[in-house]
Structure 1
Amino acid sequence: MLGVGQKFPAFNLKATVSLEKGKEFADIKDNDYAGKWKIYFFWPKDFTFVCPTEIAAFGKMNKEFAERDTQVLGGSTDSEFVHHAWRTHHDDLRNLPFPMLADVKRELTSDLGILDPEAGVAQRATYIVDPQGIIRFAYVTDLSVGRSPSEVLRVLDALQTDELCPCNWQKGQETLHV
């Protein structure tokens, strides 16, 4: 698995970006959000149970990420059409404000090292990538365990201070001065 300090891989993927007729899909490339922080999070499969809870939670927090000049991008190995159908039929996913990447060829998940060898799907992985494209945070949970978007935001805040931040540091608190 690629980790902290490594370059996030180049990619060009189809994504579901809207439910509006004629504007449902877009090509998304790694350099589309140049100069911004990025949150990439991956889930195993659409139309499952843990995944929509996380996706909806990231959606609800999108404004907070945007206020930090950060673009959220979610993705799985499902197609853009499956993403679209899921968004259409799941109330919590209809108005997502971020792209749902479709890594159907499993290239990005393979390049990241997060393609689950047993299930053949994306592991439940999260990355914070800085404006230079360097991974600054990486974490993976078991396929059955959801992650905390609030923790991802807390880590993003800490990384953006470019200072030493103690355990459980929250935005607005003092950083460590050595």
Structure 2
Amino acid sequence: MSLINTEIKPFQATAFKQGEFVQVTDADVKGKWAIFFFYPADFTFVCPTELGDVADHYEELQKLGVEVYSVSTDTHFVHKAWHDASETIAKINYYMLGDQNGTITNNFGVMREGQGLADRATFLVDPEGIIQAMEVTAEGIGRDADDLLRKVKAAQYVAAHPGEVCPAKWKEGEATLAPSLDLVGKI
């Protein structure tokens, strides 16, 4: 079942962010664009490469009004320990949500049954709390923050320009499409 165009469900969690433990709820997410970046576990292999890649793009995402919430079923204490132990994870300035009870992971439908681990999944949520994009990959396939950034810009463009859509490989500043009867069969 697709979660596209559905509202995020209520949650509350403790996160590690910039040296502190902070509380985060679904209400904190609303009013701005958000990325929920699920990964299986701290102290693993593909996960730090992905989280580091997002950290490298965090400043640009912030300029676009996007907040990032990485989520695993580890606790916020484990997130802090990983942040302190790993050079790659140490550069993270976004929220690292602890979801040890699995509420958030189950809300987004990405809990691996019987394992207690999240799938490798990304969700883009608009300021109203509505999921606009999602991606789920297999365990060994890492995600690309450049493509995530492109999707954010496309989603924001479409939200700001009703009646226009962004074609494949669209980049900021390129031509969009205005779906109409005149375009049918012409693309």
| Structure-1-length-normalised TM-score | 0.93
Runs of 5+ in structure 1 lacking a partner? none
Instruction: Give a deviation string over 1:103-134, Cα, whole Å, max 9, x none.
Output: 00011111211001153200001000000000
The verdict on how the C-alpha distance between 1:85 and 1:94 changes in structure 2, with shifts beyond 3 A counting, is same
Cα offsets for 1:55-86 (capped at 9, x unmatched): 01101100111111111110100001110000
Looking at structure 2, the residues matched to 33 and 124 of structure 1 have their Cα atoms a distance apart, in angstroms, of 21
- Mapped partners of 1:79, 1:164: distance in 2: 40
In the alignment, the residues of structure 1 paired with residue 35 and residue 149 of structure 2 have an alpha-carbon distance, to the nearest angstrom, of 9
Aligned length: 174
Structure 2 residue 127 is the aligned partner of structure 1 residue 126: no
> 2:105 is matched with which residue?
109
Per-residue CA deviations over 1:27-59 (Å, capped at 9, x if unaligned) read 111121431000110100100000000001101
Greater Rg by CA: 2
Partner of residue 33 from structure 2, selected from 21, 31, 37: 37
The yes-or-no answer on 1:170 pairing with 2:171 is yes
Find the residue that maps to 1:152 and give its secondary structure.
Answer: helix
User: Unaligned stretches of 5+ in structure 2?
Assistant: 159-163, 180-187
State the match for 1:14 in structure 2.
Answer: 14
**Mapped pair 1:81 → 2:82:** no
Work out which of the residue numbers 22, 38, 59 in structure 1 matches 2:55. 59
Per the TM alignment, residue 2 of structure 1 is displaced from its structure 2 partner at its CA by 5.0
Identity rate, percent: 37
| Residue 72 (structure 1) aligns with | 68
- What's the TM-score once normalised by structure 2's chain length? 0.89
When the two chains are superposed, the root-mean-square deviation of aligned CA atoms in Å is 1.2
Shift of 1:92: 1.1
